Chain A
Amino acid sequence: MESNLIKYKSTVGSFTSNIDLTFSDSNIIAITGLSGSGKSTIAKVICGLIEPITGHIKINNKILYCSKNNINLPPHLRKIGMVFQEPRLFSHMSVKNNLLYGQRRNSLFDQKKFSRIIKILGIKNILDRNTFNLSGGEAQRVSIGRALLSEPKILILDEPLTGLDSPRQNKIMKIIKEINKKMDIPILFISHSIDEIIFISEKIIIIENGKTVAQGSIEEIISYKKLSYFNRGNTSYSLIKGIIRQHNKNNLSTTIDVDEIQIITKYISDKINTNQIIKLYSKDISITTEIPKNISINNILETKIKKIKIIKQNGTAEVFLSLGKQQIISEITLFSLHKLKLKINLKVYALVKAVSIVGK
Protein backbone atom coordinates (compact mmCIF):
# COMPACT_ATOMS: atom_id res chain seq x y z
CA MET A 1 0.00 0.00 0.00
CA GLU A 2 1.25 3.49 -0.87
CA SER A 3 2.36 5.61 2.07
CA ASN A 4 0.48 8.67 0.86
CA LEU A 5 -3.26 8.68 0.44
CA ILE A 6 -5.48 11.66 -0.18
CA LYS A 7 -9.15 10.82 -0.34
CA TYR A 8 -11.80 13.31 0.64
CA LYS A 9 -15.00 15.10 -0.15
CA SER A 10 -15.16 18.82 0.53
CA THR A 11 -17.39 21.77 -0.17
CA VAL A 12 -16.24 25.36 -0.41
CA GLY A 13 -19.16 27.63 -1.25
CA SER A 14 -20.99 25.83 -4.04
CA PHE A 15 -17.88 23.99 -5.24
CA THR A 16 -17.64 20.32 -4.34
CA SER A 17 -14.43 18.30 -4.56
CA ASN A 18 -14.21 14.55 -4.62
CA ILE A 19 -10.57 13.59 -4.65
CA ASP A 20 -8.95 10.18 -4.52
CA LEU A 21 -5.24 9.80 -5.12
CA THR A 22 -2.26 7.80 -3.91
CA PHE A 23 1.46 8.13 -4.48
CA SER A 24 4.75 6.83 -3.21
CA ASP A 25 7.42 8.59 -1.17
CA SER A 26 10.01 9.45 -3.77
CA ASN A 27 8.11 10.90 -6.68
CA ILE A 28 7.36 14.34 -7.96
CA ILE A 29 3.64 14.22 -8.56
CA ALA A 30 2.03 16.87 -10.72
CA ILE A 31 -1.55 17.89 -10.22
CA THR A 32 -2.98 19.69 -13.18
CA GLY A 33 -6.28 20.92 -14.53
CA LEU A 34 -7.95 24.05 -15.79
CA SER A 35 -8.17 27.02 -13.46
CA GLY A 36 -11.13 26.60 -11.14
CA SER A 37 -10.90 22.80 -11.32
CA GLY A 38 -10.04 22.54 -7.63
CA LYS A 39 -6.27 22.02 -7.78
CA SER A 40 -5.39 24.47 -5.04
CA THR A 41 -8.17 23.15 -2.83
CA ILE A 42 -6.23 19.87 -2.63
CA ALA A 43 -3.21 21.72 -1.21
CA LYS A 44 -5.34 23.58 1.30
CA VAL A 45 -7.07 20.38 2.42
CA ILE A 46 -3.74 18.59 2.93
CA CYS A 47 -2.39 21.55 4.93
CA GLY A 48 -5.50 21.66 7.09
CA LEU A 49 -6.63 25.11 5.94
CA ILE A 50 -9.88 23.62 4.61
CA GLU A 51 -11.63 20.86 6.51
CA PRO A 52 -13.25 18.22 4.30
CA ILE A 53 -16.70 16.77 5.01
CA THR A 54 -15.48 13.19 4.96
CA GLY A 55 -12.30 11.43 4.00
CA HIS A 56 -8.90 10.11 4.95
CA ILE A 57 -5.59 11.88 4.46
CA LYS A 58 -2.33 10.11 5.12
CA ILE A 59 1.13 11.51 4.40
CA ASN A 60 4.22 9.39 4.99
CA ASN A 61 1.99 6.86 6.79
CA LYS A 62 0.90 9.51 9.30
CA ILE A 63 -2.82 10.16 9.45
CA LEU A 64 -3.55 13.89 9.21
CA TYR A 65 -7.27 13.63 8.80
CA CYS A 66 -9.76 10.83 9.24
CA SER A 67 -13.45 11.58 9.47
CA LYS A 68 -14.25 8.07 10.76
CA ASN A 69 -11.92 8.32 13.76
CA ASN A 70 -12.46 12.03 14.27
CA ILE A 71 -8.83 12.90 13.57
CA ASN A 72 -8.10 16.39 12.28
CA LEU A 73 -4.59 17.63 13.03
CA PRO A 74 -4.23 21.45 13.10
CA PRO A 75 -2.00 22.89 10.32
CA HIS A 76 0.99 23.50 12.59
CA LEU A 77 1.27 19.81 13.55
CA ARG A 78 0.97 18.39 10.04
CA LYS A 79 4.59 18.86 8.94
CA ILE A 80 3.78 20.04 5.45
CA GLY A 81 6.17 22.21 3.48
CA MET A 82 4.02 24.55 1.46
CA VAL A 83 5.01 27.02 -1.23
CA PHE A 84 2.20 29.20 -2.51
CA GLN A 85 1.75 31.07 -5.76
CA GLU A 86 2.96 34.21 -3.98
CA PRO A 87 5.96 33.80 -1.65
CA ARG A 88 4.12 34.94 1.51
CA LEU A 89 7.36 35.89 3.26
CA PHE A 90 7.30 37.57 6.65
CA SER A 91 8.31 41.11 5.74
CA HIS A 92 9.31 42.15 9.27
CA MET A 93 12.08 39.53 9.31
CA SER A 94 15.31 39.13 7.38
CA VAL A 95 15.68 36.39 4.78
CA LYS A 96 17.59 34.26 7.30
CA ASN A 97 14.90 34.58 9.97
CA ASN A 98 12.27 33.70 7.40
CA LEU A 99 14.22 30.56 6.53
CA LEU A 100 14.57 29.61 10.18
CA TYR A 101 10.94 30.33 11.15
CA GLY A 102 9.65 26.82 10.53
CA GLN A 103 12.94 25.16 11.46
CA ARG A 104 12.92 26.70 14.97
CA ARG A 105 9.47 25.33 15.57
CA ASN A 106 10.11 21.82 14.31
CA SER A 107 13.67 20.74 14.99
CA LEU A 108 17.07 21.62 16.37
CA PHE A 109 19.26 23.74 14.14
CA ASP A 110 21.31 21.63 11.77
CA GLN A 111 24.04 23.79 10.19
CA LYS A 112 24.87 21.14 7.61
CA LYS A 113 21.32 20.88 6.37
CA PHE A 114 20.90 24.67 6.40
CA SER A 115 24.06 25.12 4.30
CA ARG A 116 23.01 22.39 1.90
CA ILE A 117 19.58 23.92 1.30
CA ILE A 118 20.81 27.47 0.80
CA LYS A 119 23.40 26.09 -1.61
CA ILE A 120 20.81 24.22 -3.70
CA LEU A 121 18.61 27.33 -3.74
CA GLY A 122 21.49 29.72 -4.43
CA ILE A 123 20.47 32.19 -1.72
CA LYS A 124 23.66 32.36 0.33
CA ASN A 125 24.31 35.99 -0.61
CA ILE A 126 20.91 37.32 0.34
CA LEU A 127 20.57 35.90 3.87
CA ASP A 128 20.86 39.28 5.61
CA ARG A 129 18.63 41.16 3.21
CA ASN A 130 15.10 42.38 3.89
CA THR A 131 12.47 40.36 2.10
CA PHE A 132 10.86 43.34 0.38
CA ASN A 133 14.03 44.00 -1.62
CA LEU A 134 14.05 40.56 -3.22
CA SER A 135 13.16 39.86 -6.84
CA GLY A 136 10.23 37.53 -7.54
CA GLY A 137 12.52 34.58 -8.22
CA GLU A 138 14.63 35.17 -5.10
CA ALA A 139 11.54 35.51 -2.91
CA GLN A 140 10.12 32.26 -4.25
CA ARG A 141 13.43 30.46 -3.60
CA VAL A 142 13.43 31.76 -0.02
CA SER A 143 9.86 30.51 0.33
CA ILE A 144 10.94 27.05 -0.87
CA GLY A 145 13.85 27.13 1.59
CA ARG A 146 11.59 28.09 4.48
CA ALA A 147 9.29 25.18 3.64
CA LEU A 148 12.16 22.69 3.31
CA LEU A 149 13.78 23.71 6.59
CA SER A 150 10.57 23.12 8.53
CA GLU A 151 11.31 19.37 8.39
CA PRO A 152 8.33 18.56 6.18
CA LYS A 153 7.19 15.07 5.24
CA ILE A 154 6.00 16.38 1.89
CA LEU A 155 6.66 19.53 -0.14
CA ILE A 156 3.63 21.05 -1.85
CA LEU A 157 4.21 23.66 -4.53
CA ASP A 158 1.05 25.45 -5.63
CA GLU A 159 1.69 27.22 -8.95
CA PRO A 160 5.07 28.44 -7.66
CA LEU A 161 6.22 29.74 -11.05
CA THR A 162 3.32 32.06 -11.77
CA GLY A 163 4.43 35.62 -12.40
CA LEU A 164 8.09 34.73 -12.98
CA ASP A 165 9.83 35.21 -16.31
CA SER A 166 10.94 32.12 -18.14
CA PRO A 167 14.67 32.06 -17.21
CA ARG A 168 13.63 32.26 -13.53
CA GLN A 169 10.97 29.61 -14.07
CA ASN A 170 13.57 27.28 -15.58
CA LYS A 171 15.96 27.91 -12.72
CA ILE A 172 13.34 27.09 -10.10
CA MET A 173 12.17 23.99 -11.99
CA LYS A 174 15.75 22.69 -12.01
CA ILE A 175 16.02 23.43 -8.30
CA ILE A 176 12.82 21.50 -7.59
CA LYS A 177 14.16 18.49 -9.47
CA GLU A 178 17.41 18.70 -7.54
CA ILE A 179 15.59 18.90 -4.21
CA ASN A 180 13.66 15.76 -5.07
CA LYS A 181 16.85 13.96 -6.02
CA LYS A 182 19.03 15.06 -3.11
CA MET A 183 16.60 15.32 -0.24
CA ASP A 184 14.41 12.29 -0.72
CA ILE A 185 11.13 14.05 -0.13
CA PRO A 186 7.93 13.61 -2.14
CA ILE A 187 6.86 16.72 -3.99
CA LEU A 188 3.33 17.61 -5.01
CA PHE A 189 3.59 20.10 -7.85
CA ILE A 190 0.37 21.90 -8.71
CA SER A 191 0.35 23.67 -12.06
CA HIS A 192 -1.90 24.40 -15.00
CA SER A 193 1.08 24.46 -17.36
CA ILE A 194 1.64 21.27 -19.33
CA ASP A 195 5.24 22.29 -20.11
CA GLU A 196 6.06 22.64 -16.42
CA ILE A 197 4.53 19.34 -15.37
CA ILE A 198 6.04 17.34 -18.18
CA PHE A 199 9.45 18.76 -17.40
CA ILE A 200 9.19 18.14 -13.71
CA SER A 201 7.19 15.09 -12.81
CA GLU A 202 7.00 11.37 -13.15
CA LYS A 203 3.36 11.04 -12.30
CA ILE A 204 0.52 13.30 -13.37
CA ILE A 205 -2.92 13.64 -11.87
CA ILE A 206 -5.61 15.43 -13.83
CA ILE A 207 -8.38 17.20 -11.95
CA GLU A 208 -11.61 18.33 -13.52
CA ASN A 209 -14.53 19.94 -11.69
CA GLY A 210 -13.10 18.85 -8.35
CA LYS A 211 -12.64 15.23 -9.38
CA THR A 212 -9.62 13.10 -10.17
CA VAL A 213 -10.27 12.11 -13.80
CA ALA A 214 -6.95 10.53 -14.74
CA GLN A 215 -3.68 9.65 -13.07
CA GLY A 216 -0.58 7.90 -14.32
CA SER A 217 2.80 8.33 -15.92
CA ILE A 218 3.33 10.93 -18.65
CA GLU A 219 3.04 8.19 -21.27
CA GLU A 220 -0.26 7.08 -19.85
CA ILE A 221 -1.65 10.57 -19.45
CA ILE A 222 -0.52 11.92 -22.81
CA SER A 223 -3.37 10.22 -24.64
CA TYR A 224 -5.89 11.85 -22.33
CA LYS A 225 -8.13 13.50 -24.82
CA LYS A 226 -8.60 16.79 -23.07
CA LEU A 227 -4.93 17.43 -22.33
CA SER A 228 -4.49 19.59 -25.41
CA TYR A 229 -7.19 21.96 -24.23
CA PHE A 230 -5.61 22.79 -20.93
CA ASN A 231 -4.14 25.94 -22.30
CA ARG A 232 -7.54 26.98 -23.55
CA GLY A 233 -7.62 30.65 -24.40
CA ASN A 234 -3.97 30.48 -25.38
CA THR A 235 -2.67 28.33 -28.18
CA SER A 236 -3.82 24.83 -28.96
CA TYR A 237 -1.16 22.16 -29.33
CA SER A 238 -0.71 18.43 -29.28
CA LEU A 239 1.73 16.34 -27.30
CA ILE A 240 3.22 13.19 -28.69
CA LYS A 241 5.94 10.85 -27.50
CA GLY A 242 8.92 9.61 -29.40
CA ILE A 243 12.44 8.17 -29.08
CA ILE A 244 15.68 9.79 -30.18
CA ARG A 245 17.05 7.72 -33.08
CA GLN A 246 19.88 9.69 -34.58
CA HIS A 247 21.95 12.84 -34.17
CA ASN A 248 23.28 14.66 -37.19
CA LYS A 249 26.12 16.84 -35.96
CA ASN A 250 26.76 18.47 -39.35
CA ASN A 251 23.24 19.83 -39.67
CA LEU A 252 22.82 20.18 -35.92
CA SER A 253 19.62 18.17 -36.07
CA THR A 254 18.14 15.16 -34.30
CA THR A 255 15.81 12.53 -35.68
CA ILE A 256 13.02 11.34 -33.42
CA ASP A 257 11.02 8.21 -34.06
CA VAL A 258 7.31 8.65 -33.42
CA ASP A 259 5.63 5.28 -33.92
CA GLU A 260 8.10 4.54 -36.76
CA ILE A 261 7.59 7.93 -38.37
CA GLN A 262 10.75 10.05 -38.41
CA ILE A 263 10.57 13.66 -37.24
CA ILE A 264 13.55 15.97 -37.58
CA THR A 265 14.15 18.56 -34.88
CA LYS A 266 16.86 20.95 -33.83
CA TYR A 267 19.76 19.22 -32.10
CA ILE A 268 18.84 17.74 -28.71
CA SER A 269 21.67 16.97 -26.33
CA ASP A 270 20.08 13.78 -24.95
CA LYS A 271 21.42 10.32 -25.77
CA ILE A 272 20.11 8.06 -28.50
CA ASN A 273 17.18 5.84 -27.45
CA THR A 274 15.94 8.23 -24.77
CA ASN A 275 12.25 9.04 -24.70
CA GLN A 276 11.04 12.53 -25.53
CA ILE A 277 7.77 14.37 -25.25
CA ILE A 278 7.21 16.59 -28.25
CA LYS A 279 4.92 19.56 -28.38
CA LEU A 280 3.48 20.60 -31.73
CA TYR A 281 1.58 23.86 -31.90
CA SER A 282 -1.52 23.48 -34.07
CA LYS A 283 -0.67 26.71 -35.90
CA ASP A 284 2.72 25.28 -36.94
CA ILE A 285 1.15 22.38 -38.83
CA SER A 286 -0.06 22.91 -42.38
CA ILE A 287 -1.86 20.39 -44.57
CA THR A 288 -1.27 19.45 -48.20
CA THR A 289 -2.92 16.76 -50.30
CA GLU A 290 0.22 16.13 -52.40
CA ILE A 291 3.88 15.92 -51.46
CA PRO A 292 5.35 19.35 -52.18
CA LYS A 293 8.71 19.66 -53.87
CA ASN A 294 11.56 22.02 -53.02
CA ILE A 295 10.25 23.13 -49.69
CA SER A 296 12.23 24.21 -46.65
CA ILE A 297 10.04 22.28 -44.24
CA ASN A 298 11.74 19.03 -43.24
CA ASN A 299 8.85 17.16 -41.73
CA ILE A 300 6.33 16.06 -44.33
CA LEU A 301 4.35 13.37 -42.58
CA GLU A 302 1.85 11.07 -44.21
CA THR A 303 -1.34 11.10 -42.13
CA LYS A 304 -5.05 10.52 -42.26
CA ILE A 305 -7.79 12.94 -41.16
CA LYS A 306 -9.54 11.57 -38.09
CA LYS A 307 -11.79 14.44 -37.15
CA ILE A 308 -12.56 17.99 -38.22
CA LYS A 309 -13.70 20.54 -35.70
CA ILE A 310 -14.92 23.84 -37.09
CA ILE A 311 -14.41 26.94 -34.93
CA LYS A 312 -16.81 29.39 -36.54
CA GLN A 313 -16.04 32.45 -34.47
CA ASN A 314 -12.36 32.33 -35.55
CA GLY A 315 -13.05 31.22 -39.13
CA THR A 316 -10.72 28.26 -38.53
CA ALA A 317 -10.87 24.51 -38.24
CA GLU A 318 -8.92 22.05 -36.11
CA VAL A 319 -8.05 19.02 -38.17
CA PHE A 320 -7.12 15.97 -36.09
CA LEU A 321 -4.54 13.85 -37.89
CA SER A 322 -3.32 10.37 -37.06
CA LEU A 323 0.40 9.96 -36.58
CA GLY A 324 1.16 6.30 -35.98
CA LYS A 325 -0.99 5.45 -33.00
CA GLN A 326 -0.97 9.05 -31.84
CA GLN A 327 -2.75 12.17 -32.91
CA ILE A 328 -1.75 15.70 -33.84
CA ILE A 329 -3.88 18.77 -34.52
CA SER A 330 -3.53 21.19 -37.40
CA GLU A 331 -5.21 24.56 -37.30
CA ILE A 332 -6.15 25.88 -40.73
CA THR A 333 -8.58 28.47 -42.06
CA LEU A 334 -12.07 27.47 -43.20
CA PHE A 335 -11.06 28.83 -46.60
CA SER A 336 -8.23 26.25 -46.85
CA LEU A 337 -10.50 23.51 -45.53
CA HIS A 338 -12.95 24.08 -48.37
CA LYS A 339 -10.26 24.71 -50.98
CA LEU A 340 -8.56 21.37 -50.28
CA LYS A 341 -11.94 19.60 -49.91
CA LEU A 342 -10.75 17.98 -46.71
CA LYS A 343 -12.89 15.25 -45.17
CA ILE A 344 -12.57 12.47 -42.66
CA ASN A 345 -10.35 9.48 -43.63
CA LEU A 346 -8.70 11.45 -46.43
CA LYS A 347 -4.96 10.80 -46.77
CA VAL A 348 -3.04 14.07 -46.42
CA TYR A 349 0.45 15.27 -45.60
CA ALA A 350 1.14 17.29 -42.48
CA LEU A 351 3.84 19.91 -42.88
CA VAL A 352 5.37 20.46 -39.47
CA LYS A 353 7.37 23.63 -39.29
CA ALA A 354 8.61 23.80 -35.72
CA VAL A 355 9.03 21.08 -33.19
CA SER A 356 9.58 21.78 -29.55
CA ILE A 357 10.76 19.26 -27.05
CA VAL A 358 9.20 19.72 -23.64
CA GLY A 359 10.31 16.74 -21.61
CA LYS A 360 11.12 13.11 -21.46
Chain B
Amino acid sequence: MLNPIEIEALKLSGFIAIVAISVSIIPGIIIAWIISRKKGLLSSILNMIVYLPLVLPPVVIGYLLLLLFSHNGIIGNFLLEYFNISVNFSWKGAAIAAAVVSFPLLVRSIKLGFDTFDHKTEEAAYINGASKLDCFISITLPQILPSIITGITLAFARCLAEFGATITFVSNIPGETQTLPLALYTATQIPGTEESAIRLVIISIILAFVSVAIAEILAKRTNKRIIGNKY
Protein backbone atom coordinates (compact mmCIF):
# COMPACT_ATOMS: atom_id res chain seq x y z
CA MET B 1 0.00 0.00 0.00
CA LEU B 2 1.00 3.63 0.42
CA ASN B 3 4.26 4.59 2.09
CA PRO B 4 4.34 7.24 4.86
CA ILE B 5 5.44 10.03 2.48
CA GLU B 6 2.55 9.27 0.14
CA ILE B 7 0.04 9.18 3.02
CA GLU B 8 1.43 12.48 4.29
CA ALA B 9 1.05 14.02 0.80
CA LEU B 10 -2.51 12.73 0.49
CA LYS B 11 -3.51 14.15 3.89
CA LEU B 12 -1.80 17.44 3.19
CA SER B 13 -3.51 17.75 -0.21
CA GLY B 14 -6.94 17.28 1.38
CA PHE B 15 -6.18 19.64 4.25
CA ILE B 16 -4.83 22.40 1.96
CA ALA B 17 -7.82 22.08 -0.40
CA ILE B 18 -10.28 22.36 2.52
CA VAL B 19 -8.50 25.43 3.94
CA ALA B 20 -8.30 27.06 0.49
CA ILE B 21 -12.02 26.56 -0.21
CA SER B 22 -13.08 27.67 3.29
CA VAL B 23 -11.16 30.91 2.86
CA SER B 24 -12.37 31.64 -0.66
CA ILE B 25 -16.04 30.63 -0.51
CA ILE B 26 -17.46 33.86 0.97
CA PRO B 27 -15.38 36.23 -1.20
CA GLY B 28 -16.23 33.94 -4.13
CA ILE B 29 -19.99 34.34 -3.56
CA ILE B 30 -19.70 38.11 -3.12
CA ILE B 31 -17.56 38.59 -6.25
CA ALA B 32 -19.78 36.27 -8.30
CA TRP B 33 -22.78 38.35 -7.22
CA ILE B 34 -21.06 41.62 -8.15
CA ILE B 35 -19.97 40.33 -11.57
CA SER B 36 -23.41 38.90 -12.28
CA ARG B 37 -25.59 41.76 -11.06
CA LYS B 38 -23.58 44.95 -11.39
CA LYS B 39 -22.97 46.33 -14.82
CA GLY B 40 -20.18 48.80 -15.52
CA LEU B 41 -16.47 49.19 -15.98
CA LEU B 42 -15.47 48.18 -12.46
CA SER B 43 -17.48 44.98 -12.67
CA SER B 44 -15.91 44.15 -16.05
CA ILE B 45 -12.40 44.77 -14.70
CA LEU B 46 -13.12 42.61 -11.66
CA ASN B 47 -14.41 39.92 -13.98
CA MET B 48 -11.14 39.91 -15.95
CA ILE B 49 -8.96 39.87 -12.83
CA VAL B 50 -10.90 36.94 -11.36
CA TYR B 51 -10.48 34.88 -14.52
CA LEU B 52 -6.77 35.66 -14.96
CA PRO B 53 -5.52 32.63 -12.97
CA LEU B 54 -7.43 30.44 -15.40
CA VAL B 55 -5.36 31.58 -18.37
CA LEU B 56 -2.02 32.64 -16.86
CA PRO B 57 0.76 30.03 -16.63
CA PRO B 58 0.70 28.71 -13.03
CA VAL B 59 4.36 29.57 -12.66
CA VAL B 60 3.49 33.24 -13.23
CA ILE B 61 0.91 33.06 -10.43
CA GLY B 62 3.45 31.38 -8.16
CA TYR B 63 6.05 34.01 -8.88
CA LEU B 64 3.60 36.89 -8.32
CA LEU B 65 2.56 35.33 -5.00
CA LEU B 66 6.22 35.06 -4.08
CA LEU B 67 6.69 38.76 -4.78
CA LEU B 68 3.57 39.76 -2.83
CA PHE B 69 3.99 37.45 0.17
CA SER B 70 7.77 37.45 0.65
CA HIS B 71 8.91 39.27 3.76
CA ASN B 72 9.66 42.31 1.62
CA GLY B 73 6.44 42.05 -0.38
CA ILE B 74 3.44 44.30 0.36
CA ILE B 75 1.21 41.62 1.87
CA GLY B 76 4.00 39.46 3.36
CA ASN B 77 5.47 42.45 5.15
CA PHE B 78 2.07 43.46 6.50
CA LEU B 79 1.26 39.94 7.74
CA LEU B 80 4.64 39.59 9.42
CA GLU B 81 4.58 43.00 11.08
CA TYR B 82 0.98 43.04 12.37
CA PHE B 83 0.13 39.35 12.83
CA ASN B 84 3.56 37.71 12.98
CA ILE B 85 2.52 35.34 10.24
CA SER B 86 4.86 34.09 7.55
CA VAL B 87 3.43 32.05 4.70
CA ASN B 88 6.71 31.33 2.91
CA PHE B 89 7.65 27.66 2.62
CA SER B 90 4.63 26.65 4.73
CA TRP B 91 1.28 24.93 4.14
CA LYS B 92 -0.39 28.36 4.52
CA GLY B 93 1.36 29.50 1.36
CA ALA B 94 0.31 26.30 -0.40
CA ALA B 95 -3.31 26.99 0.63
CA ILE B 96 -3.06 30.54 -0.74
CA ALA B 97 -1.71 29.24 -4.05
CA ALA B 98 -4.51 26.65 -4.22
CA ALA B 99 -7.15 29.27 -3.37
CA VAL B 100 -5.91 31.64 -6.07
CA VAL B 101 -5.78 29.09 -8.89
CA SER B 102 -9.13 27.52 -7.99
CA PHE B 103 -10.90 30.86 -7.48
CA PRO B 104 -12.01 31.34 -11.12
CA LEU B 105 -13.72 27.93 -11.17
CA LEU B 106 -15.53 28.71 -7.91
CA VAL B 107 -16.68 32.15 -9.07
CA ARG B 108 -17.63 30.98 -12.55
CA SER B 109 -20.02 28.31 -11.29
CA ILE B 110 -21.63 30.56 -8.67
CA LYS B 111 -21.96 33.41 -11.16
CA LEU B 112 -23.81 31.07 -13.50
CA GLY B 113 -26.25 30.40 -10.65
CA PHE B 114 -26.86 34.12 -10.13
CA ASP B 115 -27.21 34.67 -13.88
CA THR B 116 -29.90 32.06 -14.33
CA PHE B 117 -31.79 32.75 -11.10
CA ASP B 118 -35.06 34.59 -11.70
CA HIS B 119 -34.92 38.01 -10.02
CA LYS B 120 -38.70 38.10 -9.87
CA THR B 121 -38.65 35.68 -6.95
CA GLU B 122 -36.50 38.18 -5.05
CA GLU B 123 -39.04 40.94 -5.75
CA ALA B 124 -41.72 38.76 -4.17
CA ALA B 125 -39.52 38.35 -1.08
CA TYR B 126 -38.86 42.12 -0.76
CA ILE B 127 -42.54 42.91 -0.96
CA ASN B 128 -43.24 40.23 1.64
CA GLY B 129 -41.08 42.14 4.11
CA ALA B 130 -37.54 40.83 3.54
CA SER B 131 -34.69 43.33 3.42
CA LYS B 132 -32.12 42.89 0.64
CA LEU B 133 -29.69 40.99 2.92
CA ASP B 134 -32.49 38.86 4.38
CA CYS B 135 -33.68 38.02 0.87
CA PHE B 136 -30.13 37.16 -0.23
CA ILE B 137 -29.72 34.72 2.66
CA SER B 138 -33.22 33.25 2.77
CA ILE B 139 -34.05 33.12 -0.95
CA THR B 140 -31.16 33.73 -3.32
CA LEU B 141 -28.48 31.54 -1.69
CA PRO B 142 -30.72 28.48 -1.17
CA GLN B 143 -32.01 28.83 -4.73
CA ILE B 144 -28.51 28.84 -6.25
CA LEU B 145 -27.19 26.14 -3.89
CA PRO B 146 -26.63 23.63 -6.74
CA SER B 147 -24.28 26.12 -8.43
CA ILE B 148 -22.45 26.76 -5.17
CA ILE B 149 -21.96 23.02 -4.64
CA THR B 150 -20.71 22.56 -8.20
CA GLY B 151 -18.34 25.51 -7.74
CA ILE B 152 -16.96 24.16 -4.47
CA THR B 153 -16.37 20.68 -5.86
CA LEU B 154 -14.72 21.89 -9.04
CA ALA B 155 -12.51 24.26 -7.05
CA PHE B 156 -11.71 21.45 -4.60
CA ALA B 157 -10.60 19.21 -7.47
CA ARG B 158 -8.51 22.06 -8.89
CA CYS B 159 -6.84 22.53 -5.48
CA LEU B 160 -5.90 18.83 -5.40
CA ALA B 161 -4.40 19.16 -8.88
CA GLU B 162 -2.44 22.35 -8.13
CA PHE B 163 1.26 22.09 -8.97
CA GLY B 164 2.96 24.99 -10.76
CA ALA B 165 2.05 27.92 -8.55
CA THR B 166 2.69 25.91 -5.38
CA ILE B 167 6.15 24.68 -6.28
CA THR B 168 7.17 28.19 -7.43
CA PHE B 169 5.74 29.94 -4.37
CA VAL B 170 6.39 27.59 -1.43
CA SER B 171 8.70 24.95 -2.89
CA ASN B 172 8.42 21.18 -2.41
CA ILE B 173 8.88 20.34 1.29
CA PRO B 174 7.63 16.91 2.45
CA GLY B 175 5.13 17.25 5.31
CA GLU B 176 4.77 20.99 4.80
CA THR B 177 4.07 21.89 1.16
CA GLN B 178 4.45 18.59 -0.65
CA THR B 179 0.95 17.81 -1.92
CA LEU B 180 0.07 14.82 -4.14
CA PRO B 181 1.20 16.32 -7.47
CA LEU B 182 4.45 17.52 -5.90
CA ALA B 183 5.09 14.10 -4.37
CA LEU B 184 4.42 12.56 -7.78
CA TYR B 185 6.83 15.01 -9.39
CA THR B 186 9.52 14.04 -6.85
CA ALA B 187 8.86 10.35 -7.50
CA THR B 188 9.33 10.85 -11.22
CA GLN B 189 12.66 12.56 -10.63
CA ILE B 190 14.29 9.84 -8.49
CA PRO B 191 15.33 6.52 -10.12
CA GLY B 192 13.73 3.43 -8.52
CA THR B 193 10.50 5.13 -7.32
CA GLU B 194 8.41 4.28 -10.39
CA GLU B 195 6.03 2.16 -8.32
CA SER B 196 5.35 5.04 -5.98
CA ALA B 197 4.75 7.29 -9.00
CA ILE B 198 2.21 4.86 -10.43
CA ARG B 199 0.39 4.65 -7.07
CA LEU B 200 0.20 8.46 -6.85
CA VAL B 201 -1.06 8.67 -10.43
CA ILE B 202 -3.84 6.19 -9.64
CA ILE B 203 -4.79 8.06 -6.45
CA SER B 204 -4.90 11.36 -8.36
CA ILE B 205 -7.21 9.89 -11.00
CA ILE B 206 -9.50 8.33 -8.38
CA LEU B 207 -9.67 11.59 -6.40
CA ALA B 208 -10.51 13.65 -9.48
CA PHE B 209 -13.15 11.15 -10.54
CA VAL B 210 -14.73 10.95 -7.09
CA SER B 211 -14.91 14.71 -6.62
CA VAL B 212 -16.55 15.29 -9.99
CA ALA B 213 -19.00 12.45 -9.30
CA ILE B 214 -19.84 13.90 -5.88
CA ALA B 215 -20.41 17.32 -7.48
CA GLU B 216 -22.78 15.83 -9.99
CA ILE B 217 -24.76 13.82 -7.43
CA LEU B 218 -25.05 16.70 -4.93
CA ALA B 219 -26.06 19.20 -7.60
CA LYS B 220 -28.73 16.83 -8.91
CA ARG B 221 -30.07 16.17 -5.44
CA THR B 222 -30.33 19.81 -4.41
CA ASN B 223 -31.80 20.72 -7.76
CA LYS B 224 -34.44 18.05 -7.32
CA ARG B 225 -35.27 19.45 -3.90
CA ILE B 226 -35.56 22.97 -5.29
CA ILE B 227 -37.20 22.59 -8.67
CA GLY B 228 -38.63 19.07 -8.67
CA ASN B 229 -37.80 16.56 -11.38
CA LYS B 230 -37.13 19.08 -14.11
CA TYR B 231 -33.34 18.78 -13.81
Contact = CB atoms under 8 A, between A and B. Distances in A.
Contacts of A76: 126-131, 134
B120 interface: yes
Given A76-B130, A102-B129, A91 B124 contact: no
Interface string A80-93: 11101010111110
A79 B127 CA distance: 7
A48 B129 CA distance: 12
B228 interface: yes
A84 B124 contact: yes
A88 B227 contact: no
B121 interface: yes
A72 to B, nearest CB: 14
Contact of B128 (A49, A74, A86, A102): A102
B127 A90 contact: no
Interface in B72-99: none
B39 interface: no
Nearest to A49: B123
A91 B145 CA distance: 12
B129 A105 contact: yes
Interface string B94-137: 00000000000000000000000000110111111111001000
A202 to B, nearest CB: 25
B57 interface: no
Contacts of A79: 129
A89 B130 CA distance: 14
Contacts of A130: 228
B226 A91 contact: yes
B142 interface: yes
Contacts of B120: 84, 86, 88
Given A101-B128, A105-B129, A105-B134, A88 B225 contact: no
B153 interface: no
A88 B123 CA distance: 9
B143 interface: yes
B125 A101 contact: yes
B139 interface: yes
A105 B143 contact: no
A76 B131 CA distance: 6
A90 B121 contact: yes
Interface string B194-231: 00000000000000000000000000000001111010
B128 A91 contact: no
Contacts of B126: 47-49, 74-76
Given A84-B120, A90-B121, A91-B227, A105 B127 contact: no
A78 interface: yes
B227 A78 contact: no
A289 B35 CA distance: 72
A267 interface: no
Contacts of B125: 90, 101
A82 B130 CA distance: 13
B207 to A, nearest CB: 31
Nearest to A102: B128
Contact of A105 (B123, B124, B128, B145): B128
A15 interface: no
A90 B135 CA distance: 11
A76 B145 CA distance: 24
Q: Which of B124, B130, B131, B227 has the most CB of A within 10 A?
A: B124
A92 B129 contact: no
A92 B130 contact: no
B130 A105 contact: yes
A106 B227 CA distance: 27
Contacts of B121: 88, 90
B221 to A, nearest CB: 13
**The 6 nearest A-B residue pairs measured at CB:** A102-B128, A105-B129, A132-B228, A75-B126, A88-B124, A92-B142
Interface of B: 120-121, 123-131, 134, 138-139, 142-143, 145, 225-228, 230
Given A48-B126, A146-B128, 11 more contacts: A47-B127, A48-B127, A49-B127, A74-B126, A75-B126, A90-B125, A91-B226, A91-B227, A92-B143, A101-B130, A133-B228
Interface of A: 47-49, 74-82, 84, 86, 88-92, 101-102, 105-106, 130, 132-133, 146-147, 150
